[in-house]
Amino acid sequence: MNQVVILAGGHGKRMKAAIPKPMLQVLDVPMLGWVIRACEGAGLSRICVVTGYKAQYVELYLGNRYRTALQAEQLGTGHAVMQAEKFMQEFTDGNTLVLCGDAPFMDSETIANALKLHEAQENAVTVITATLEQPTGYGRILRSETGIAAIVEEKDATDAQREIHEVNSGAYWFKTKALLELLGNLSQSNAQGEYYLTDTVGLALERGWKASAYRSENPDVILGANTRKDLLHLNKVAQERVLEKHMENGVNFVNTDGIIIGNDVEIGAETTILPGTILRGKTKIGAKCTIGPNCLIENCSIGDHVTLNYVQAFESEIEDAVKAGPFVHIRPNSHLKNGVKIGDFVEVKNSTVGEQTAIAHLTYVGDSDVGKKVNFGCGTVTVNYDGLKKQRCVIGDNCFIGCNTNLVAPVRVGDGAYTAAGSTITEDVPPEALGIARARQVTKEGWAGPKLAAYIAKKQKLEAAARGREGEK
């Protein structure tokens, strides 16, 4: 059986982060999540994550999906792999892949192709490498006629060795039995007093075992993050990849300023994404839409020909030809059906809104089931919370909800019914009826005159006093 050990115990002191470095995000996904996804894409599901600094954050993220092993003391990469020995000993007949949890661009193709080479050559260890134009800071790969001769860290390299552009990614395929033996022979006899996983190559060669290197066609497998600047670079690289993918699929970007699109987002052809738009999670957007400017969409399904302008939407479904914005908030579990129109300063929560319904402006629709072709007047509120629990409003087809109507749930408005402006509806309104629930107007003649006169007199007195004080100066 083939298995994976991912090293995710790093502190990342230069990051000044309160969480482990592998949990820092690239496009809203922890770097560790990127690495795990690459493993799963290569068909590797038996995974052990070696934790360390603030391990609880990693364990919370993983849940019960994968095994963990704690590196309580940080004594090098070899020492980190040692913590997973119990995990590896359960299946020793296959191969073990060792990966860095803070190298998010390791890809499934590289992992799979490196394994093919590893098995074909019957190597004890196969180092995954890449060629960089600027290899400064990375360990250089010294090759032999039969494979790899050594990995030389830059500080130990000669001038000639520093001219080598093939570098170590920090990822390795091992025969599991070989790895277990090599780990037992690692030494701390170095300046740092640590166990280096890179030393396994030399130890394997000393035993007459085969060691080789697989050069990835993706140079980004090397990239990691030790500083916030590095992390920003990773995000830029990831974002450029995502944008290129969508443009190849026919998505239009007039300007990419402020646009952030997650790796799992799907967008249909001829859709335009405008500046300031953030698309996250499992969001799926159809064809010929206009999204933006300044939209935040997370885990939503959006149909074709949709226009969203200054909209925040979360975990909801928006069907074809919906128009929403500006300043619209679509909260979780909402469903806007075909042709719905939502105007400025409207909030929809946990509600279904039927076809061609119009909610023009300044309205809250929460915990409601709204029919088709309903017209909401300005300032309508579905009063869905009684202080203890949520209740639902049901509004039928072809209704007219007058301005400043309060619908106090639970309440039903039948098909074709109206509510009068300014009403507080607490009882069901039958189909095609008019619901009126407001006090009769009372007019008191001359009531305001004395109050106005008193106000004016007081104001004049205060102004006179202020002028007197100014004259004394």
Give me the active site residues, please.
361
Residue 445, C-beta contacts closer than 8 angstroms, at least 6 positions apart: none
Cα–Cα distance for residue pair 164/139, rounded to 1 Å: 10
- Asked if 303 contacts 267 with a C-beta cutoff of 8 angstroms, the reply is no
Residue 313, C-beta contacts closer than 8 angstroms, at least 6 positions apart: 295, 296, 297, 298, 300, 328, 329, 330, 334
Cβ atoms within 10 Å of 455's Cβ, excluding its own: 10
Residue 57, C-beta contacts closer than 8 angstroms, at least 6 positions apart: 19, 20, 23
Q: What are phi and psi of 113, to 5 degrees?
A: -70, -35
Cα angle 80-237-248, degrees, rounded to a multiple of 5:
130
Token look-up 């098995």 returns: 119
From first CA to last CA, the distance across the chain in angstroms is 94
State which H helix or E strand residue 217 sits in. Answer: none
3-state secondary structure string, 293-314?
CCCEEECCEECCCCEECCEEEE
Residue 358, C-beta contacts closer than 8 angstroms, at least 6 positions apart: 340, 341, 342, 343, 374, 375, 376
Q: Does the N-terminal peptide bond of residue 410 adopt cis geometry, omega within 30 degrees of 0?
A: yes
Per-residue tokens: 231:
């992390």
DSSP state string for 318-372 = E-TT-EE-SSEEE-SS-EE-TT-EE-SSEEEES-EE-TT-EE-SSEEEESEEE-S
Cβ atoms within 10 Å of 416's Cβ, excluding its own: 16
User: Quick check: helix, strand or coil at residue 182?
Assistant: helix
Cα–Cα distance for residue pair 44/64, rounded to 1 Å: 16
Q: What is the dihedral of CA 299, 302, 306, 309, to 10 degrees?
A: -10
- Identity (one letter) of the amino acid at 268? G
